[in-house]
Amino acid sequence: MVAWKRGRNLIIVTNREPYVHTYADGDEISCSIPTGGVTAALDPVMQDVGGTWIAWGSGGADADKVDSGDRVGVPPLRPKYLLRRVWLKKSEVRNYYYGYSNEGLWPLAHSLLSKVRFEKKQWNAYQSVNRRFAAAAAGESADNDVVWVHDYHLTLVPGMLKKQNPSLTVAFFWHIPWPQFDVFRVCPQHKQILAGMLAAGLIGFHIPRYCRNFLECVGRTFGEEALRSPTMPRVESFPVSVDFDEIETRASGADVAAKIAGLRDRYNLHGRLVACGVDRMDYTKGVPERLEALEILFDRYPRFRGRFTLLQVCSPSRTELSEYRSVKKRVRELTDRMVGRFATEDWTPVVVFHRKVPFETILALYRMADVGIVSPIADGMNLVAKEFIAAQVDERGVLALSQFAGAAGSIENALKFNPFERDSFAECVRTALEMPKRDKKAMIRRARRELKKYTVFHWVREFLDATLEVASPAAGGANTTH
Ligand code: GDG
């Protein structure tokens, strides 16, 4: 599946682990696979290539499943590669993960400066956790191995790792937007962050704009000549995607059809129009904006009252942070207001699920929806947009997509809108709801054809191919295996 040079190991480093062990009932240990397209895409690659995956052991039973080297073979039933767990203290989770990463870098990368907070003690924790990940990666790798580091939690790892073993090939992928320099320089440690990343041989972003912003930050921080230095890494865009076939197959399944019937019964949706939304409860995802737009729709076009319902999943995320609690509160207020204003005895304008739901339910929502609404105010890519397209096995739903999702650049066949302008957002949803059946069919069919050409496996393959191109020649030569 992935061309890989023999004689080198592949080591992946992420904050989140691909398998989590927890205590189920009493002493019983169960293993779960966290949701999220990226872990789901990297896992088959690791199963194919072998190697080691380094991640934070966040599960309650994780420590009881590892050997003396903190490693466990995964997948549990037929181990194919090693998961090396890194342990974090409670205070480190607070300061490195919730603090520096999610109160500092996350809102900064999404250019939401009013939410950005940096604290010295968080930076200290960030550095020491990055050091621990780097030490683990150095310990797990041999000369000339390839280490693929992911995301904003681990920007210092490439620099630390190359210092320990210069023969390693280090590649880095940044999953969220990269802001302009005027925004990025708000980070007090922006120089150190850039320097850490620049030690990689390859740096990937989702879209060319993030690459340009990153290069602008490098030029303005270290001088334009830094961009021409022989040590400057290759910087390139690799738009992440989804496992099209898997989603299509699962969405076609009988259990998804049964879920659809169940949802239509439960919320009295037979013969009614449905919109769906699936998001982590994050202020970047534009859920309050979505509810406000729909309120305008119901105000302006009373013909939709009693005829159209939004089913919205808001899965809990980073609930320790006050910004996340307040966006959830805002969503509840707006939902109550809409229900209070418009609901009738047998119909409600909106249902919000404030919990994590099984993926089968998400597929049911995608498949039953006349319109899928994806309205982030900023988003690196947004996998929900692509999952929605892949799940349209009946070719009937239309995607209404914010122009500020990275996905907007690669999905031509969607209705695009600006979520900051609520009334035109509302108009976009109206257009989607009233589009003739055959136009919708033609549009989603084209979107599906496009998406099928570039799946998450293309993404992995292109990134790893580019990584091997920047790698120094290794003992073991250019043999490839498929
Ligand atoms: C970051 C970037 C970029 C959501 N709720 C439930 C659930 N989900 C799944 C969705 C989808 C995933 O979570 C969310 O993916 P996104 O891409 O929308 O968003 P982030 O988590 O913010 O990811 C983003 C991504 O990295 C990859 O590079 O696209 O821009 O922000 O797969 O289906 N899954 C289940 N239950 C839920 O309640 N099972």
Three-state SS for the chain is CCCEECCCCEEEECCCCCCEEEECCCCCEEEECCCCHHHHHHHHHHHHHCCEEEEECCCCCHHHCCCCCCEEEECCCCCCEEEEEECCCHHHHHHHHHHHHHHHHHHHHCCCHHHCCCCHHHHHHHHHHHHHHHHHHHHHCCCCCEEEEECHHHCCHHHHHHHHCCCCEEEEECCCCCCCHHHHCCCCCHHHHHHHHHCCCEEEECCHHHHHHHHHHHHHHHCHHHHHCCCCCEEEECCCCCCHHHHHHHHCCHHHHHHHHHHHHHCCCCCCEEEEEEEECCHHHCHHHHHHHHHHHHHHCHHHCCCEEEEEEEECCCCCCHHHHHHHHHHHHHHHHHHHHHCECCECCEEEECCCCCHHHHHHHHHHCCEEEECCCCECCCHHHHHHHHCCCCCCCEEEEECCECHHHHCCCCEEECCCCHHHHHHHHHHHHHCCHHHHHHHHHHHHHHHHHCCHHHHHHHHHHHHHHHCCCCCCCCCEEC
The residue whose CA is least distant from atom 20 of ligand 1 is 382
Crossing angle, helix 383-390 and helix 244-251, to 10 degrees? 50
CA 384 / ligand 1 centre spacing (Å): 6
Instruction: Kindly give the number of the ligand 1 atom that is closest to the alpha carbon of 38.
Output: 27
Ligand 1 mutation pick, 14, 16, 32, 35, max ligand atoms within 8 A of CB: 35
Query: Residue 479's pLDDT is what?
Result: 38
Ligand 1 mutation pick, 278, 410, 456, max ligand atoms within 8 A of CB: 278
Question: What CA–CA distance (Å, rounded) separates 173 from 159?
Answer: 14
Instruction: Kindly give the number of the ligand 1 atom that is closest to the alpha carbon of 407.
Output: 29
CA 280 / ligand 1 centre spacing (Å): 7
Q: Among candidates 79, 70, 92, 187, which has minimal Cα distance to 136?
A: 70
Specify which residues 377 forms β-bridges with: none
Tokens 């999610």 — which residue? 102
Which tokens hold the place of 165?
């073993």
Name residue 279's amino acid. Answer: D
CA 385 / ligand 1 centre spacing (Å): 10
Mean pLDDT taken over the chain: 95
Residue 122 contacts by C-beta under 8 Å, 6 or more apart in sequence? 95, 96, 99, 100, 103, 104
CA 383 / ligand 1 centre spacing (Å): 6
Query: Residue 481's pLDDT is what?
Result: 34
Residue 433 contacts by C-beta under 8 Å, 6 or more apart in sequence? 273, 275, 304, 308, 370, 371
Ligand 1 mutation pick, 357, 379, 383, 386, max ligand atoms within 8 A of CB: 383
Q: Do residues 356 and 217 lie in contact, with contact meaning Cβ atoms separated by under 8 Å?
A: no
Instruction: Kindly give the number of the ligand 1 atom that is closest to the alpha carbon of 315.
Output: 38
The residue whose CA is least distant from atom 18 of ligand 1 is 382
CA 345 / ligand 1 centre spacing (Å): 34
pLDDT (tens digit, 9 = 90+) per residue, 323-382?
A: 999 999 999 999 999 999 999 999 999 999 999 999 999 999 999 999 999 999 999 999
What residues are in contact with ligand 1 under a 6 Å CB criterion? 35-38, 175-176, 240, 278, 280, 313, 315, 356-359, 362, 379-384, 387, 406
Question: What CA–CA distance (Å, rounded) separates 260 from 262?
Answer: 5
Question: What CA–CA distance (Å, rounded) separates 244 from 249?
Answer: 9
Query: Residue 35's pLDDT is what?
Result: 67
CA 382 / ligand 1 centre spacing (Å): 7
CA 315 / ligand 1 centre spacing (Å): 10
CA 51 / ligand 1 centre spacing (Å): 25
Cis bond leading into 288, ω under 30°? no
Query: Residue 327's pLDDT is what?
Result: 98
Question: What CA–CA distance (Å, rounded) separates 126 from 224?
Answer: 28
Question: What CA–CA distance (Å, rounded) separates 463 from 466?
Answer: 5
Ligand 1 mutation pick, 209, 256, 280, 404, max ligand atoms within 8 A of CB: 280
Query: Residue 39's pLDDT is what?
Result: 82
pLDDT (tens digit, 9 = 90+) per residue, 392-407?
A: 999 999 999 999 999 9
Q: How many CB atoms lie within 10 A of CB 431?
A: 14
Query: Residue 482's pLDDT is what?
Result: 31
CA 341 / ligand 1 centre spacing (Å): 31
User: 28, exposed or middle or buried, with CB in 10 Å at 0-12, 13-18, 19+?
Assistant: exposed
Query: Residue 45's pLDDT is what?
Result: 84
Tokens 């033609």 — which residue? 442
Query: Residue 478's pLDDT is what?
Result: 41
CA 206 / ligand 1 centre spacing (Å): 15
The residue whose CA is least distant from atom 33 of ligand 1 is 384
Residues of the chain predicted below pLDDT 70: 1-6, 35-37, 473-482
